[in-house]
């Protein structure tokens, strides 16, 4: 069963869907969606949306990779991998008593797991045969000729992307520094290490730990679009996300894939995710 937001009916409380005004409809495919798709088991008692205005949304429960169909190229996909280690590291990050070194290590481990999940069925491979000590074996390697880039957004993106080069062969890392005005919540770019144009066919991981209001990630994706990168070539890696950012991304970047440790219910007036984990940059670096 899938849930499509469309007031004024309410979903029964026993369905694994967002606790918002909606109506139930049977989806012809477990991967069908209308605005953005969430890949995680969800309890309606734990996730409540504070914003009443919502576009169509379908939430389904699945643990398999989305099938590559034309409709999926037109919609944003949001994945919350149901791995116990991901839940563990998110819990460590949430704890206000977690000291800075452990917080940063937890961020790095969470990033490793999310990038591992995001790279599934996405990285190009080459096949061949090699001689093992016991005989000839058919093998597959990641194709080093295909460009893969990681774009961490400073500061906390550095911590979340710390293990990127150890799990993604032949990876180039381009840093982006984007700060957010505390009053207006508008992004400001202070560092841009992106090349004028990325190689054709590049696969790009954009690493931003907190997707709250969406201003920072939208500014980063805009820079990539200017350099010829299509939405389907991008995967966003985030520790915690919130509905305002996801809604904006689904409207502006159809075909985008977002991998996150958890989706929290709301953002406060200061632009912080609630309950979130605080300021990821301050907690990662102690400043």
pLDDT 10s digits, 30-73: 332 334 455 444 443 333 333 434 433 333 333 333 344 555 56
Question: What are the tens digits of pLDDT across the range 133-178?
Answer: 999 999 999 888 889 999 999 988 999 999 998 888 778 999 999 8
Give the up-direction half-sphere exposure of residue 178: CA atoms within 13 A in the CB hemisphere: 25
Write down the pTM of the prediction. 0.76
Token pair 């460009």: residue: 147
Q: What is the pLDDT of residue 145?
A: 86
Q: Which residues, including other chains, have CB under 8 Å from residue 188's CB and lie 6 or more apart?
A: 178, 179, 180, 181
Distance, CA of 241 to CA of 251 (rounded, Å):
16
């Amino acid at each position: 069963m899938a849930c499509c937001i469309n007031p004024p009916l309410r979903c029964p409380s026993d369905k694994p869907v967002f606790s918002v005004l909606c109506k139930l409809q049977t989806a012809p495919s477990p991967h069908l969606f209308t605005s953005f798709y969430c890949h995680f088991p969800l309890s309606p008692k734990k996730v409540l949306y504070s914003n009443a205005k919502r576009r169509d949304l379908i939430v389904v429960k699945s643990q398999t990779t989305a099938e590559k169909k034309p409709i999926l190229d037109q919609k944003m996909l949001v994945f919350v991998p149901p791995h116990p280690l991901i839940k563990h590291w998110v819990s460590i990050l949430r704890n206000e008593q977690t000291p800075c070194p452990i917080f940063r290590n937890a961020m790095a481990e969470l990033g490793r797991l999310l990038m591992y999940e995001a790279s599934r069925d996405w990285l190009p491979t080459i096949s061949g045969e090699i001689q093992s000590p016991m005989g000839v074996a058919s093998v597959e390697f990641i194709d080093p000729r295909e460009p893969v880039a990681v774009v961490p957004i400073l500061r906390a993106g550095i911590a979340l992307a710390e293990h990127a080069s150890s799990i993604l062969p032949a990876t180039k890392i381009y840093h982006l520094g984007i700060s957010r005005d505390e009053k207006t919540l508008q992004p400001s770019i202070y560092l841009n290490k992106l090349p004028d144009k990325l190689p054709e066919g590049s696969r790009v991981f954009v690493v931003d730990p907190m997707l709250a209001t969406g201003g920072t990630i939208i500014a980063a994706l805009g820079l990539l679009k200017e350099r010829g990168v299509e939405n389907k070539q991008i995967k966003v890696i985030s520790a915690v996300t919130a509905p305002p950012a996801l809604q904006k991304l689904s409207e502006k970047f159809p075909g985008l894939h977002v991998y996150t440790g958890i989706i929290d219910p709301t953002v406060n007036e200061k632009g912080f995710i609630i309950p979130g984990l605080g300021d990821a940059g301050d907690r990662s670096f102690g400043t």
